Amino acid sequence: MHRVYFDHNATTPVDREVFEAMLPYFSDEFGNPSSIHSPGQHARKAVEHAREQVAALLGARPMDISFTSGGTESDNLAILGVVGADERPRGSTSLTTGKHVITTQIEHSAVLETCRALQSHGVEVTFLSVSSDGLVDPEEVRRALRPETVLITVMHANNELGCIQPLEEIGRIAAEAGVYFHTDAVQSAGKIPVSVEQLGVDLLAISGHKFYGPKGVGALYVRKGTHLQPVMFGGKHGRDHRPGTENVAGIVGLGKAAEVALKTMETEGPRLAALRDRLEKDLLAAIPNARVNSSRAPRTPNTANLTFSFIEGEALVIALDLKGLACSTGAACSSGAVEPSHVLTAIGLPAAEARASIRFSFGRLNTEEDVDFALSVVPDAVLHLRKLSPLYKESVAAQ
């Protein structure tokens, strides 16, 4: 069966150059980078080279890059670390009570669940609303500031919509207020230019498997002078931010993936945007009662999120997979019940419309022929599911 993969926001295949760069560190170059003998120092040299490669992707200093197991750990370390390290008097001896964090309603669960955990320990959290295109208003961030605010955390690009937040404006607001600013850049790093200086962030999280690196490795940029309490304890590895023997092969892969992304981004971005735009345009022309979500916002070039009214998105994902097309829905299945995406309800979609939404996310290996294939199977699948939908039958009868 011919298969097309349009789910690169979920994960990407490991690039061939990345794979080949990693191979020696599974076998011949097996040293522990904390060892002072030659095998250990060969591994240390590889880790430090990868740190330079990641720093170059982010416009950062190598010394400000700490390696982690991925985006979730990086986000947790940033948020918990800043809140735990803040020692300004709050009238309480608690490490958390009396502190305030600002975030948005459409963050990844790695941020939302961390903030909710902080709430259960006495931290006040403001979850800002977003526009119908998924954008937070920087002035809403300014209005949410309090004397006890210790952190602002706003993602760079949304994983479901691809919309890019106005981080530069928010960064200026955070700097004026003297508040730390963190961003989850898991969906932007490697796809669009990212500069920690231009964005004005103090902490920035990335994950290797989102841009053709291996799973299980990521990084956290921590601006010099940022007070960060570790969330794990052990040896003096990882700039004192993250103990434990480094995942040398994974880190080498992350570094190589960063190097390749930096080299190809200028041409790859426009190419993917053209594929995305063609898919959106032709699907809207072929399928009535369809819409593109976040279409007026700046977006990552590879992400399209469409609503096909009167269907269940999970059913469409399964139907398309059976035809050879892999895509995804933002809905999460829990205890057999499909909940609407928190991102799509936050932009104002009713629950039924949120459940009827599908994300197509393009990648390096996708071609015009892949778009042709999608256009040949998606309209028929939507029509078939609508014929089974009581809501669709009622809509047709009412016309």
* Token pair of 54 as six digits: 């990641």
Helix locations, the chain, DSSP H = 16-22, 38-58, 71-85, 109-119, 138-144, 167-177, 196-199, 248-286, 313-323, 342-346, 351-355, 368-387, 390-398
The Cα–Cα gap between 172 and 167 comes to 9
Minimal CA–CA distance to 280: which of 304, 309, 307, 316?
304
What angle is formed at CA 381 by the lines to CA 378 and CA 385, rounded to 5 degrees? 140
Query: By the 8 A CB rule, do 3 and 324 touch?
Result: yes
Catalytic residue among 115, 163, 327, 333: 333
The Cα–Cα gap between 367 and 30 comes to 38
The Cα–Cα gap between 299 and 16 comes to 27
Active site residue 333: yes
DSSP label of 311 = S
Sequence-distant (6+) residues with CB within 8 A of 181 are 151, 152, 153, 154, 170, 171, 174, 175, 200, 201, 202, 203
**Residues marked as catalytic:** 333
